[in-house]
Amino acid sequence: MKRMQRPFLHPALGDVTLESVLYALADPVRLSIVCKLTLGNCPMNCSSAAPDKLPKSTQSHHYQVLREAGLIRSERRGTEVVNTLRCAEINAKFPGVIPAILTAAVAAHAFTASAGSSSKTAED
Amino acid sequence: MKRMQRPFLHPALGDVTLESVLYALADPVRLSIVCKLTLGNCPMNCSSAAPDKLPKSTQSHHYQVLREAGLIRSERRGTEVVNTLRCAEINAKFPGVIPAILTAAVAAHAFTASAGSSSKTAED
DNA sequence: GCTGTTAGTTCATGTTAGCGGAACTATTGA
DNA sequence: TCAATAGTTCCGCTAACATGAACTAACAGC
């Protein structure tokens, strides 16, 4: 039987739970992806937001988790997939959670953004 | 061979990582334990902070995760174990993270504290 | 001392979830 | 149409979770 490529599904804001958000951010790879998307603050394709040398299947898995947790929105654009953060929405539901986590994460690891912006706290 | 009861080990603040804190709080059982400890704001033994009907071995496992993540401190007192939050310490390392999460969690589920305090935001 | 009770831990086991390689799809460009 | 690029899906392996059974450790009553 033929392998199908299922469409992306994004949970409605009402279905997003605090637990799944925390779970999604509890993985260092996924946390770094979200940090890069924040610091880059423009849509990015999967491989450029993911850490180097990460197997593609693993990347794909992590993006799926982030998507299903409601943290990112993914859209196919030609041959690639562009990802944008849903921080504003999540922040409306769980005020302060995402900014606090991202600020702490950036402080802890100092992720490299593509453009070298000076020192930006992740206040969405 | 004899089964030993190993002493509790609590990570130094320097060894506490954001990821392990988020991971520990990503589980609904553990999140509810931490909420109860916060709302109760006094040391509690394991079974009174855990959800009802949870098997003891499962409880024990969850407390171990919380302990090793650095979120709680456990001490044997006679026949029971009393647990206290390490929120103040963690908050010094990751400012705002724990309060934001606990406030969101309390708002989402409205956990019952032992004493029926009115409406308390989890500002440590 | 011994016995029972309470509170929690450790071990063993079945179930589930994550990682990564191989094979695949889908789009674009020569 | 062929090749390249960017991800996805499937599958096997391994690690982690949840829980029952058996255990430890502290205490109370006798």
Q: Higher model confidence: residue A32 or residue B53? A: A32
pLDDT tens-place string over residues A98-115? 999 999 999 987 665 433
pLDDT tens-place string over residues B26-74? 999 999 999 999 998 878 887 888 888 899 999 999 999 999 999 999 9
Mean pLDDT of A25-50: 88
CA A81 – CA A92 distance, rounded (Å)? 26
DSSP string, B76-123: EETTEEEEEE-HHHHHHHSTTHHHHHHHHHHHHH-PPPSS--S-----
Give contacts of A94 with chain B, Cβ < 8 Å: 100, 104, 108
What pLDDT is recorded for position A123? Answer: 39
Mean pLDDT of A40-52: 81
What pLDDT is recorded for position B117? Answer: 36
CA A1 – CA B116 distance, rounded (Å)? 59
Mean pLDDT of A40-44: 81
CA B26 – CA B62 distance, rounded (Å)? 11
Mean pLDDT of B3-13: 86
Paired tokens of B48: 């009174």
Mean pLDDT of A86-99: 95
Paired tokens of B100: 């934001």
CB within 7 A of strand D (chain A, 34-73): 45-47, 56-57, 59-61, 63-64
What pLDDT is recorded for position B60? Answer: 93
The answer to whether B97 CB sits below 7 Å from nucleic acid chain D is no
Radius of gyration in angstroms for the set of CA atoms belonging to chain B, rounded to a whole number: 14
What pLDDT is recorded for position B121? Answer: 42
What pLDDT is recorded for position B32? Answer: 93
Mean pLDDT of A24-35: 94
What's the whole-model pTM score? Answer: 0.88
Paired tokens of A54: 């990460």
Quickly state the pLDDT bin for B118 (edges 50, 70, 90).
very low
Closest CA to B88 of B37, B46, B45, B49: B37
